[in-house]
Amino acid sequence: MNAIISASELASDLTGANPSVLLDVRWQLSMAKAAGAPPFDGRAEYAAGHIPGAVFVDLDRELASAPGEGGRHPLPDVAEFGAAMRRAGVSSGRPVVVYDGGQGWAAARAWWLLRWTGHPDVRVLDGGLARWEGPLSTEVPTPAPGDFAPAPGAVGLLDADAAAALARSGVLLDARAGERYRGEVEPIDPVGGHIPGALSAPTTDNVAPDGRFLPAEELHARFKALGAADGTEVGVYCGSGVSAAHEVLALAVAGIPAALYVGSWSEWSSDPQRPVAVGPDPR
C-alpha cells in the first residue's frame, strides 16, 4: 500500500463507501520566541478552515509526551495516544489519512505513530492542505468513538544506543539541514553537530518545490546513493523525531523500510558523555 495519497485521490476516497478518517495535524517548529513573533497556533489555523470532517490533533500534546531527558518530542504515553486516536474516530478497520499545512513533518509524525502502534492503513496527503482543491469547513465534527487499540512495535524504533550502533553497522541518516549536521549553527539544542557515522540527508531534498514528494524511483536512487538499499538496515533521526518521520515516510515511498530514532539530536546532545562529530565528514 502506498504511504501517500494525492489530493484528487482523497477527494474520491471521501465520497466512497468507507471514507478515511481525516486527521488535521497542522504544526510548525517554532522559532517565534527568538524572532519575537507569536507562536504558530495549529488549532487556530484548523478553526479558520479545514477539510470537511477532519479532526484536529495536537502534535505537542497528543503525538508526544512532555519534553525531558527523552528529547523535545518523546513518545507519547501509549494509552493516552490510543485514547486520543479513538476520540478522533480512529478504528483499526477503517483507513486513516493525515495532513498538515503542507510541510509534511507533522503529518508524517502522526503517520509513523499510527503505523508503529499497529494501524494497518494510514496515508499522508501528499503536499498537505496546500494541495487540496476542495471546499474547506469551519464546522468541528463530532466523530463516533473509534476502537483503535495501539500495539507498539509494528515498525522500527531506535533508542540512543541502537542509533549509535546502526551508524557503525548500517546506515543512519540525519534528516536535519546540512548546516546543523555540520555543527555550523544550532538554534535549538545545546550542542551542534551529528552522531558519529551518521550521513547528512536533509528531508527537504525529498520533496519538489510544490511540497509533494519526488517520484518513488528518484527517492529510491537518492537513498541508494547513500547506501540505504539492498537489505541494509536503515535508521533516521533529526532534531526531535518529527522531520525524521518525514524522511522515514520518504523511504517508505521509495520502498525502503527504516527505523526512527524518536529522541533524535535533542536527546543525544543532552548527554555530554555522548560523542559529537562536526563538519561534513560522517565521523
Taking only the tens place, the pLDDT of each residue in 136-173 is 999 999 999 999 999 999 999 999 999 999 999 999 99
pLDDT (average), residues 41-68 = 96
- 127 and 161 both lie in a single domain: no
- 127 and 227 both lie in a single domain: no
- How far is it, in rounded angstroms, from Cα 221 to Cα 229? 9
Beta bridge partners of 96: 21, 122
- 8 and 81 both lie in a single domain: yes
Split at pLDDT 50, 70, 90, the class of 31 is very low
E strand or H helix at 80: helix 78-87
Split at pLDDT 50, 70, 90, the class of 231 is confident
- 124 and 14 both lie in a single domain: yes
Q: Is residue 275 over pLDDT 50? A: yes
Give the end-to-end CA distance of the chain in Å, rounded to a whole number.
36
Q: Is residue 17 over pLDDT 50? A: yes
C-alpha grid cell, residue 124 = 499522508
The predicted structure's pLDDT at residue 37: 60
The predicted structure's pLDDT at residue 40: 79
pLDDT (average), residues 174-182 = 97
- At what angle are helices 243-253 and 216-225 packed, to 10 degrees? 110
Split at pLDDT 50, 70, 90, the class of 283 is confident
Domain of residue 237 covers 157-268
- 126 and 202 both lie in a single domain: no
Is 72 part of a structural domain of the chain? yes
- 80 and 192 both lie in a single domain: no
Is 283 part of a structural domain of the chain? no
The number of domains in the chain is 2
Q: Is residue 266 over pLDDT 80? A: yes
- Considering the chain, what percentage of its residues have pLDDT values greater than 90? 91
Catalytic hit among 64, 84, 171, 238: 238
Annotated catalytic residue 172: no
Q: Is residue 33 over pLDDT 90? A: no
Closest CA to 23 of 116, 92, 89, 105: 89
The full length of the chain comes to: 283
Q: Is residue 34 over pLDDT 50? A: no
> What CATH number corresponds to the domain at position 11?
3.40.250.10
The predicted structure's pLDDT at residue 32: 41
- Considering the chain, what percentage of its residues have pLDDT values greater than 70? 97
Mean of the per-residue pLDDT values of the chain: 95
C-alpha grid cell, residue 133 = 482543491
Is 46 part of a structural domain of the chain? yes
* pTM of the full structure: 0.95
Is 168 part of a structural domain of the chain? yes
Is 273 part of a structural domain of the chain? no
- 162 and 233 both lie in a single domain: yes
Split at pLDDT 50, 70, 90, the class of 65 is very high
Is 30 part of a structural domain of the chain? yes
Cβ atoms 228, 250 nearer than 8 A:
no
- 94 and 182 both lie in a single domain: no
pLDDT (average), residues 117-145 = 97
Is 275 part of a structural domain of the chain? no
